[in-house]
Amino acid sequence: MNQSSTTPFTGITLALSKGRIFGETLPLLARAGIVPLVDPDSSRQLILPTSRPDVRLVIVRASDVPTYVQRGAADLGVAGLDVLLEQGGEGLYQPVDLRIARCRLMVAVSQGFDYEGAIGRGARLRVATKYAKLAREHFAAKGVHVDLIKLYGSMELAPLTGLADAIVDLVSSGNTLRANALEAVENIAEISSRLVVNGAAWKLYRERLAPVVEAIAQGVKETF
């Protein structure tokens, strides 16, 4: 079970990110009989053995999950629909909506900013986001001209400092927006996390992967 670097792992590798997704995926995995033997928050280990010797978890950045699965370094992954839509999800089969980490991708502005008015005047909108592709597509579909400002975090700060007129970001309770005197003005997409599988691996190793995928799908049904 303790994989040395010289022993190739022949089981199933599942990629997921620390934090919210890890915490919300754990109960679903537990229902599928998969329990990590190491807590990623108190350990620096990035490869976590589980109660099933044939299943291990690898801890990666949320936005790196598709890459690991697309390139076959992981067989399965848990990725937000936001990440999948932004990156395209090419070569990935998405068999299960895990219904966790639910939120909305929204347009938000400073409270009192006349968003509809600005759009109506044909003003060029400065939009800060880490979702450049999704934001571009959203505003293009509306015929709104935008200057996209790529950020990597703390999007809420952009309108408050005058960096941008609007942000495109994930919103769940709305508490963060309210705490920063922002308000949501448009919903772009309903987001949740998806189980993703390498499409080629799914064809080649379906017999091996399907029981795990089905057990997780069953866990979702029993939980929600």
Contact positions with ligand ATP (CB under 6 A) in 142-181: 170, 172
Which of 14, 15, 17, 146 contacts ligand ATP by CB under 6 A?
17
85 and 198 Cβ atoms separated by less than 8 Å: no
Q: Considering only CA atoms, which of 81, 82, 55, 116 is closest in space to residue 195? A: 81
Among 15, 16, 21, 128, binds ligand ATP (CB under 6 A): 21
User: CA dist 168 to 54, 58, 124, 218, Å?
Assistant: 40, 29, 15, 34
Q: Are 36 and 48 in contact (CB under 8 A)?
A: yes
**Residue 13, both tokens:** 């590798």
Binding region for ligand ATP (CB under 6 A) out of 36-44, 101-109, 158-166, 199-207: 101-109
Candidates 7-15, 27-35, 98-106, 201-209; binding stretch for ligand ATP (CB under 6 A): 98-106
Main-chain dihedrals φ then ψ at residue 216, nearest 5 degrees = -70, -40
Choose between 172 and 223: whose C-beta lies nearer to ligand ATP: 172
> Per-residue contact track with ligand ATP, 46 to 65, x per CB under 6 A?
---------------xxx--
* Piece of 5-13, 78-86, 116-124, 180-188 that binds ligand ATP (CB under 6 A): 78-86
Q: Which of 218, 214, 209 is nearest to 54 (CA)?
A: 209
Site of interaction with ligand ATP (CB under 6 A): 17, 19-21, 61-63, 80, 82-83, 101-103, 170, 172, 191, 193
